[in-house]
Structure 1
Amino acid sequence: MSEIPNNSRRTFMKLAATAGGGLFLGFSWTSSVASAIEVFDDAAAASGNIDFNSYLSISPDDVITILSPNPELGQNIKTSFPMIVAEELDADWTKVKVVQAPLDTNKFERQVTGGSGAVPHSWERLRKAGATARQMMIEAAAKRWNVAASTLATDNGMVVHQASGRKLSYGELANEASKIPVPQDVKLKDVKDFKLIGKEIRNVDNREMITGQPLYGMDFYKEGMLFAMIQRPKAFGLKVKSVDAAAAKAMPGIVDVVTFKNNVAVVGKSTWQVNKARKALKIDYEQEGALESSSDHDRIFKELLNSPEATVRRKDGDVDAAFKKAAKVVKSEYQCPFLSHSPMEPMNFFAHVRPDGVELAGPTQTPEMARGMVAKLLDIAPEKITLDLTRLGGGFGRRLSADYVLEAAELSSMIKAPVKVIWTREDDMTGGTYRPAVRYRFEAALDKKGNMIGYKLRGAGINSGNPTREDNFPSGAVEHLLIESVEHKSPITTGPWRAPITNFLAFAEQAFLDEVAQAAKKDPVQFRLELLDKAKKSPVGAIKYDIDRMKGVIDLAVEKSGWGKNNKVAQGFSVYFSHRSYVAQVADVAMKNGKPVVEKIHAAADCGIVVNLSGAYQQVRGGVIDGFGHAMYSNMTFKDGAPEQSNFNNYRLIRIKEIPEVDVHFVNNGIVPTGLGEPALPPTGGAVANAIYKATGKRLRNQPFFEQPELKNA
């Protein structure tokens, strides 16, 4: 197993075990009921042979430990999951420990970080796990004191007999509680009685992160492992023709140079040595696909938008008739570029392919998929592969792909040794996968009263799949609507990027709706509210968003931003639904030295019950800053198939001094939690673009904003 601490079932049981035994509560992540209770002595606990689905332990010294199955990349799941359990358990949070689980598809369900779905999926399961343990503590105390369980209460890790004032800690009751039959029905707390959920709780890994303790994939080390760096083609559309590795092989510390698929791997004893040797490789390439440049993409977009063939994603009413009778038609096109994911931690993974099985370790958002792909690659059963998860130093969708995991596994199988593959920053930025580039064409038909009676959207994407979200607002609010897409297949690799598709679609949709509101001579917020009212009273086709929740965040954003009442700044509005949640934003822009400056962004979010207020604030602020920075500054361009940006010196990211104040508010509606890792990003670009238009009179229809003449000449 991995030598990273706290990352295996055996390590977990060693940490949780104490000399006096204790209660191990195994609860299923695929159901809501605890599945097994047993008491173990030190030897049994340390053996690691007890088979549970997942674990909640209470030791005699009152330490509560939970095994957290989902990958942690900064979305705060490693803190939020145990908070939910501790809330229902009435635990003393200062005595709660959390341990990262390895991949185990027998014990866990949905060991994935993506789609902002971890808390919504596990909310009830976690609550029932905590409530089950709490009820068993109460029954154990009732038996010891010979009183009715109904006369007992719990508080901060103690069972209390209110009539006599007697108290027992959970640790004192752990052994007795282990002999209580597992209750099948437990009562969950009323939301109003929450003591922990909704509070600001520090991330459980803060100390380790600040003090530099091993948490991330880059920290992983196993005695005897080798290091490898891979030279990939310098342009998309090229393949390796020949390799001269003589000079590289002769350099100190180099063990081997291996060519596989379209890669040339240099293997050695240290990253410094393999990086130097890689530069000594002499590789000739030949073309196997189109060597596309950004200028080609401009031409391709024009062809796609005018193509007679398209995939119809949604069609309501008679769109042609609506536009023929329109009093006014508004048309615009919006474009968004390729983007790099640029996580702080570049791709890396460890693999040891042995005759009896495979050991994998590192940062991945999709461990089960990664294991399955390695099993297929090596033609072995998935059960013979272990995968230990480290904390991820950023993912944003890049680590949903498993290419770097496969590289490590295939290389280890070829060199017959444990190896850690490490990408450099340049590898990470030039090796894909990118956010797809997309161009949108919008058309809106207005009647004489300024009502939108027709709506068209065509999304033209480069390796984007479907660049639209055909059932999102304003679908359902317009009688005559057509949404379609066209696609270009490119050698440039693309993949999910934080808030896939909606991260750029929301900017385009929300900026265009402001254009339509202006043409209709209506306030942008009022224009959207009228559409929502129409969707509620007279829906057209399917409505797949919650109208009341969307109106709720609009109202909150308007209130908190002072929409229309602040004469010192120009304000832009945006609202969006993605990943089950709703976020409305208002951007404040002031003119300074003749240039528009974004001073503040107000965000109102409805993600249901907020588990950890501290984490929630940071998720929204981080999403807003991420959305703002990439809309303003970032751009990946290509020349003859080669990326023109390779590091942060020429790939522009937001700087600290450019970050505006972000004011965050949450709708408190008490509903089951919905997603939060991604929904705050999509609305930001639209709010900022609309505010800049209000300040300058110039429409920003293309990203990045700072490169557009409308902003440069403002």
Structure 2
Amino acid sequence: MQEQANLNRRNFIRISALTGGGLVLGFNYFLTSCSTSQDGGQVIELNAFVKIDTKGRVTIMSPNPEVGQGVKTSLPMLVAEELDVDWKEIKIEQAGLDTVNYKRQVAGGSGSVRESWESFRKVGATARQMLISAAAAAWGVPAAECATENGHVVYKGKKKTYGELVEQAAKLPVPENVAVKPATAFRIIGQRTRNVDNHAIVTGQYKYGIDTKREGMLYATIIRPPAFGMTLESLDDAEAKRSPGVQQVLRFDNKIAVLGRSTWEVMQAAKKVKPQWKEDGTLESTADYTEKLHGILAKKPEDKPRRQDGNIGQAFAKAAKVIELAFDAPFLAHNTMEPMNFFAHVTADGAELYGPIQTPERARGRIAELLKLPEEKISVMMTRMGGGFGRRLMTDFVEEAAMVSRLAGNVPVNVIWSREDDMTGGFYRPMCSYRYKAALNGNNELVAWHHHSAGVSGGGASPDSFPAGAVPNFQVDAHTYKSPVTTAPWRGPTHNYIAFSEQSFLDEIARQAGKDPVALRLELLEQARANPVGKVNYEPDRFAAVIKKAAEIGGWGKSKGENIFQGFAAHFSFASYVAQVAEVEKQADGKLKLKKIYCVVDCGTVVNPSGAETQVEGSIIDGIGHAMYAELTLTNGRPDQSNFHNYRMIRMREAPAVEIHFIQSSVAPTGLGEPCLPPAGAALANAVFAASGVRLLDQPFIKSGLFA
């Protein structure tokens, strides 16, 4: 669906001020509405809007879920830029779910800024123009000769604050087709801006969903099946009910809820519940899944290919050289710093939902379905999340809170998961296996590529990923093995592992073709530019630019000392281009240590360089940490890892230095929260090969025994 770029009068609802007050410019991604406050500057609506009261105070609502990606800062920056106000004087508030006024209240797919770039700026520009018109009318001068600066309209030495103008501005016709600023006029966009919640977070004042408390609220913990593939047959809760603070024990949806006065009391009481679980089907282990996936890949693909350019069969038959590699990806837990939690208060005719959720609209729809309530009777308010990484795209924990509140007698409930609950009963990145096959002709040119994948409870194929479009014979096949294990998108879905396997395979192709890895990538991009094959969903010139820049800043091809080795990787995802050089050092004992990552990003216009750098650095370290250390395995359907003592995460001393460069650009922003994670593991793996001659094919890398 195309975004409506122009605003017209029919998109505005204007309500005259009853007693004076402030201008409220509501906004969303398609429509823009305007109204005035009705109580002397105190705005009572919670909507997607700019609020300006008669004293000139400006409040900007942030509609998207804040999951640590910085949108509560960056999205209001877009409005403030066009409104021409002093950023330090603005108040930012989190908006609740409002599907009337918003198009996309989702934290996922790195889409928040790129989806709102035009519409949010239009809102600020429209408000600014109305304020200018009000001042021009008061002074009797042409509006075109007036300007704005830091919350004032100015004209040849005259000056009025927005607060002085807001009542008259609210009565004026809403202008159509207001122009936004050129990039050369930006004063806020592109400037380093600290996160608006920083002070509250570091001083411990900020309240997350897990901190929610209400009058009469009960805490609840949920007992879930200990293994995937088990169902609840019966339970003995007598001892648990006698525990201090416990008020109810409920059975629902193959789960048991223990409710009481505090998290400690209900979690201790939960240990005294004696459930009887029944095996429902085969309880499979990681070794079983590996065998199943490898068996699928050993067979000739039968399904319709996800992508098919040319004829790989003919190309392989005529090839001068055929290259093959196989890779395996483990299950990964999301492991957010703040475990799953949610508050719900269900009443006879409605529900209040409050907590950390990446998909509030989906959550509301699911609760409406479960409780048979009209969606308009369900309110959803979002708290800042202590991590999401895709886990909070799911709504299971919201459903638990609502169901427990209803079953407990419509009491307010805060369901809180323990770390063990989160790791053993949550959703995981799918476990996948990949087979790659490539053909070179007599000139050592890549003429065929086949990617065949199979995943447990999810797929791992990326049919349009580079080098798609650059190879004349290209095919992608994907299969899913159904399992009771629950899976969900994990940061940089699909790309988080595909980049490692594809970029490692490209390096192997370069080695066997006798070509430099960077030169091979540039050669393929030139083919995609000059002679594209099928769909090309990336811009070859932009892709080549980040590759060249990364090679330049990383000193690719230049000696860094006899014990320093480099690896290269580049990947396109979420509309952004990323290239990275990893540098490893061989220690005296022959072990390897990652020292540094050089990263170049083309994500279009960078709205907030401070926040952007934080996202890039965090995603690289996240990518390195999971490629190096993380793995979740199953034995008879039961997760083997339950907490950080046996689920390995990267430690501070293991994090490499990161040097970040952004390609200067005036095009609209693209994704950033996810694109820098996928190539990190690949760059490291290719550096390891340069240092040791060992091609890493499985994660986590630590199992190779190559690292210090």
TM over 0.5: yes
SS at match of 1:492: coil
Return the alpha-carbon distance in structure 2 between the equivalents of residues 687 and 289 of structure 1. 41
Q: Where does the alignment leave 5 or more consecutive residues of structure 2 unmatched? A: 1-16
Task: Find the counterpart in structure 1 of residue 321 from structure 2.
Answer: 328
Give the Cα separation in 2 of the matches to 1:341 and 1:41. 46
Name the SS for the 1:275 alignment partner: helix
Counterpart amino acid of residue 105 in structure 2: Q
Matching residue within 109, 115, 118 for 1:121: 115
- Provide the C-alpha distance between the structure 2 equivalents of 1:533 and 1:214, rounded to a whole number of angstroms: 50
Work out the CA distance in 2 between the residues paired with 1:252 and 1:590: 56
- 1:533 equivalent to 2:526? Answer yes
What's the counterpart of residue 579 of structure 1?
574
For these two proteins, the number of residue pairs brought into alignment is 686
CA distance in 2, matches of 1:567, 1:625: 23
1:308-707 aligned at under 5 Å gives the runs: 308-311=300-303, 312-416=305-409, 417-464=411-458, 466-568=459-561, 569-593=564-588, 594-707=590-703
Secondary structure at the aligned position of 2:144 is classed as: helix
- Give yes or no for contact 2:434–2:453 (8 Å, CA) kept in 1: yes
Separation (CA, whole Å) in 2 of partners of 1:185 and 1:486:
49
Is the counterpart of residue 95 in structure 1 residue 93 in structure 2? no
Match of 1:157 in 2: 151
2:102 — aligned with what? 108
Q: Give the letter for the 2:119 counterpart.
A: R
Tell me the SS of whatever aligns to 2:284: coil
Q: Supply the RMSD in Å over aligned alpha carbons.
A: 1.5
- The equivalences for 1:96-245 within 5 A come to 96-161=90-155, 163=156, 165-245=157-237
Look up the SS of the partner of 1:252 in the other structure: coil
Q: Deviations over 1:581-611 (max 9, x none)?
A: 1111111111123211111101111111001
Q: In structure 2, what residue type is equivalent to 1:650?
A: N
C-alpha displacement of 1:107: 1.7
Letter in 2 for 1:153: A
The residue aligned with 2:25 is: 25
Separation (CA, whole Å) in 1 of partners of 2:351 and 2:551: 55
- Distance in 2 (alpha carbons) for counterparts of 1:214 and 1:418: 22
Amino acid at match of 2:374: A
Percent of aligned pairs sharing the same letter: 51
Separation in 2, partners of 1:309, 1:151: 69
More off after superposition, 243-252 vs 174-183: 174-183
SS at match of 1:617: helix
Deviation at 1:294, TM superposition (A): 1.3
Amino acid at match of 1:579: F
* Contact 2:349-2:373 at 8 Å conserved across structures: no
Query: Do 1:631 and 1:703's aligned partners in 2 also have CA atoms closer than 8 Å?
Result: yes
- Secondary structure of 1:178's partner? helix
Cα distance in 2, alignment partners of residues 25 and 302 from structure 1: 57
The AA in structure 2 aligned to 1:463 is S
Question: C-alpha displacement at 1:169, in angstroms?
Answer: 2.0
**Aligned-partner SS, 2:428:** coil
**Contact 2:27–2:101 at 8 Å: present in 1 too?**
no
Name the TM-score, length of structure 1 as normaliser. Answer: 0.94
1:39 Cα deviation (Å)? 4.3
3-state DSSP of counterpart to 1:289: coil
For residues 138-172 of structure 1, give each alpha carbon's deviation from its aligned partner in whole angstroms, at most 9, with x where no partner exists: 112212222221221112222221x3x22222222
Cα deviation, 1:470-502, whole Å, max 9, x if unaligned, reads 111111111112210122111111110001011
Please name the residue that 2:8 is paired with.
Answer: none
Contact conserved, 2:353 with 2:380, CA < 8 A, in 1?
yes
> Shift of residue 195 of structure 1?
1.0
1:679 to partner: Cα distance: 0.6
Tell me if structure 1 keeps the 8 A contact 2:22–2:42.
no
Contact 1:310 1:485 (8 Å CA) reproduced? no
- Cα distance in 1 between the residues matched to 2:616 and 2:446: 32
Q: Which runs of 5+ in 1 are unaligned?
A: 1-16
Q: CA deviation at 1:20?
A: 7.2
Query: What amino acid does structure 1 have at the position aligned with 2:427?
Result: T
- Is the counterpart of residue 37 in structure 1 residue 30 in structure 2? no
Distance 1:28 1:297 in 2: 45
| Residue pair 1:37, 1:179 contacting (<8 A) in 2 also | no
After TM superposition, give the deviation of residue 93 of structure 1 in Å: 0.3
Q: Indicate how the Cα distance of structure 1 residues 306 and 363 shifts in structure 2: closer, same or farther if over 3 A, else same.
A: same
Partners of 1:623 and 1:630 in 2: CA distance: 11
**In the aligned structure 1, how far is the partner of 2:314 from the partner of 2:524?**
20
Give the SS at the match of 1:123: helix
1:7 aligned partner: none
Number of the residue aligned with 1:10:
none
Q: 1:532 Cα shift?
A: 0.8
| TM-score of the superposed pair, with normalisation by structure 2 | 0.95
In structure 1, how many angstroms separate the alpha carbons of the residues matched to 2:300 and 2:201? 54
1:548-573 deviations in Å (ceiling 9; x for gaps)? 12112112211211111243221111
- Kindly state the Cα deviation for residue 537 of structure 1 after the two structures are TM-superposed: 1.2
Q: Distance in 2 between matches of 1:517 and 1:672?
A: 34
Distance 1:424 1:39, change over 3 A: closer
The CA distance in 1 between the partners of 2:37 and 2:47, in whole Å, is 16
Matched residues in 2 for 1:566 and 1:355: separation? 72
1:66 aligns with 2:50: no
Q: Aligned equivalents of 2:95 and 2:47: distance in 1?
A: 11
Which deviates more from structure 2 when the two are superposed, residues 290-299 or residues 607-616?
Answer: 290-299
2-structure distance, mates of 1:401, 1:210: 28
Deviates more, 1:281-290 or 1:566-575: 566-575
**8 Å Cα contact 1:529/1:551 also seen in 2:** yes
Question: How far 1:309 sits from its partner (Å)?
Answer: 4.1
Instruction: For 1:531, give the aligned amino acid.
Output: L
How far apart are the structure 2 equivalents of 1:535 and 1:214? 49
What SS does structure 2 have at the residue aligned with 1:198? coil
Deviation at 1:301, TM superposition (A): 2.0
Which deviates more, 423-432 or 213-222? 213-222
Check conservation: 1:53, 1:106, Cα contact below 8 A.
no
In structure 2, what is the Cα distance between the partners aligned to 1:647 and 1:108? 38
Tell me, what secondary structure is at the counterpart of 2:171? coil
C-alpha separation between the residues in 1 aligned to 2:28 and 2:361? 18
Q: Could you tell me which of 288, 300, 306 is aligned with 2:298?
A: 306
Give the distance between the partners of 1:93 and 1:214, measured in 2 at CA.
21
Q: Deviations over 1:6-52 (max 9, x none)?
A: xxxxxxxxxxx9x9722222234323xx422324324x846x3x5x8
Cα deviations by residue, 1:173-197 (Å, 9 ceiling, x for unpaired): 2222222221112121111111111
Other structure's SS at 2:306 match:
strand
Question: For 2:651 and 2:559, how far apart are their aligned partners in 1?
Answer: 27
Q: Supply the distance in 2 between the matched residues of 1:619 and 1:66 (Cα, whole angstroms).
A: 23
CA–CA separation in structure 1 for the residues paired with 2:321 and 2:529: 25
8 A contact 2:21–2:36 mirrored in 1 = no
